[in-house]
Amino acid sequence: MKFLWLILFILVSQNSYGSEFELQKLQDKNSVCNDGKSANYWIANQNSDKWLIHLPGGGGAWDEKTFIARDKNKKENINKPNNYSKSISSLSAVGSMLFDKGYNILFVHYCSSDLYAGDHFHKINGKDVPFKGRKIIEEILSIHQKDLISSTDTVIAGQSAGVYGVILNLDLFSKLPNARFILDAAWRDTYQRSLKKPNDSWVSFTLGKMPRHCAGSFYENCNVTIDTLKKFKANNSFIIFNYGDPFNWAKSEKQKIPFFKSIENDMRSLSGGFSVDAKKYKLKGAIKWGHGLLGQKEHFNHKINGVSLSKLINDWIDGRNNPIFISY
């Protein structure tokens, strides 16, 4: 009998752990993945008055060729019933930490290939393919509008492509009371922008007409810069961008110190940040070196000189003044 009770206890415990996240399917006919099927998101709702919205990474489709080459799971919905469960920690390390701190966690399934910002179609291989990331974000915010409006703290975390998703939808996110932002693995400080002339050939394919606040120009009005954040009074932001990240334009040894000085200046104008020489400190990330740290615990908790990003984010969440860590 004791053995049976032990087995039952283990099964209940595993189910409780696995059901932290529950899958939800959107209903609006426009809130669809590239495959035309209803988009999904995950939610762990513990009836709190605090929220985390996590937009994960996954790159984008810059043209027809890159769209066709993308993995299917980045273009398709999750073909599971509503309330299908999964542990928070398997998808979001920052979500797992904030859940333990009493936050509701909302994790968006990225399947639109458009940096969460499109509202258009492309004909690819004879089929009209929807790029509807903006509509997905709009419906999710609409569903939870009442709770988000009354939230005492709403943290919106973008990771890689999700950073662009936050910035391109800042007109929506900045309307939420008590909103603050974590931007992980994409940042364009002044020094970086001096190193490379931007190429906007991808913009019309990926973003279509772009959200209205971009005014037809991504690089002038919607780039991932401090100017865009300040335009929406989003100064309460924590930025994460590392030397060694493959998408960092500062790559040579002589560019290292100017990059760190520039990004530190941005961090001090905001409310915190984390930037290190990721290869030196063996900080792998979702992509080596140091790209995308919010998803997996091994990267989120990686200690450098006794300091981890998770500790720094925890201090920022708790309102400790301008937690900044830079090491090169």
- Could you count the other beta carbons within 10 Å of the beta carbon of residue 11? 10
Q: Which of 13-22, 56-65, 222-231 has the lowest mean pLDDT?
A: 13-22
Q: What is the pLDDT of residues 45-97, one digit of tens each?
A: 999 999 999 999 999 999 999 999 999 999 999 999 999 999 999 999 999 99
Q: What is the pLDDT of residues 279-313, one digit of tens each?
A: 999 999 999 999 999 999 999 999 999 999 999 99
The residue range of the domain holding 322 is: 2-327
The identity of residue 162, as a single letter, is G
| Phi, psi dihedrals of residue 107, rounded to the nearest 5° | -120, 120
The total of structural domains in the chain comes to 1
pLDDT for res 305? 97
CA-CA-CA-CA torsion sign (217, 168, 32, 66)? positive
Residue 34 in tokens: 């590239």
* pLDDT at residue 240 tops 70: yes
pLDDT for res 66? 98
Residues 219 and 200: beta-carbon distance below 8 Å? yes
CA-CA-CA-CA torsion sign (185, 186, 192, 195)? positive
Residues 26 and 136: beta-carbon distance below 8 Å? yes
DSSP codes joined into one string, 140-196? HHHHTHHHHHT-SEEEEEEETHHHHHHHHTHHHHTTSTTEEEEEES----HHHHTT-
Residues 97 and 296: beta-carbon distance below 8 Å? no
Q: What is the pLDDT of residues 179-197, one digit of tens each?
A: 999 999 999 999 999 999 9
Q: What is the pLDDT of residues 254-281, one digit of tens each?
A: 999 999 999 999 999 999 999 999 999 9
User: How does residue 235 score in pLDDT terms, banded at 50, 70 and 90?
Assistant: very high
CATH number at residue 317: 3.40.50
Higher pLDDT, 23 or 7: 23
The identity of residue 236, as a single letter, is N
pTM of the full predicted structure?
Answer: 0.94
CA dist., res. 228 & res. 238, Å (int): 14
Contacts of 24 (CB under 8 A, 6+ apart): 40, 41, 42, 43, 82, 83
* pLDDT at residue 9 tops 90: no
* pLDDT at residue 8 tops 60: no
pLDDT for res 246? 98
Residue 146 Cα distances to 141, 143, 155, 177, angstroms:
9, 8, 16, 11
Percent of the chain residues topping a pLDDT of 90: 93
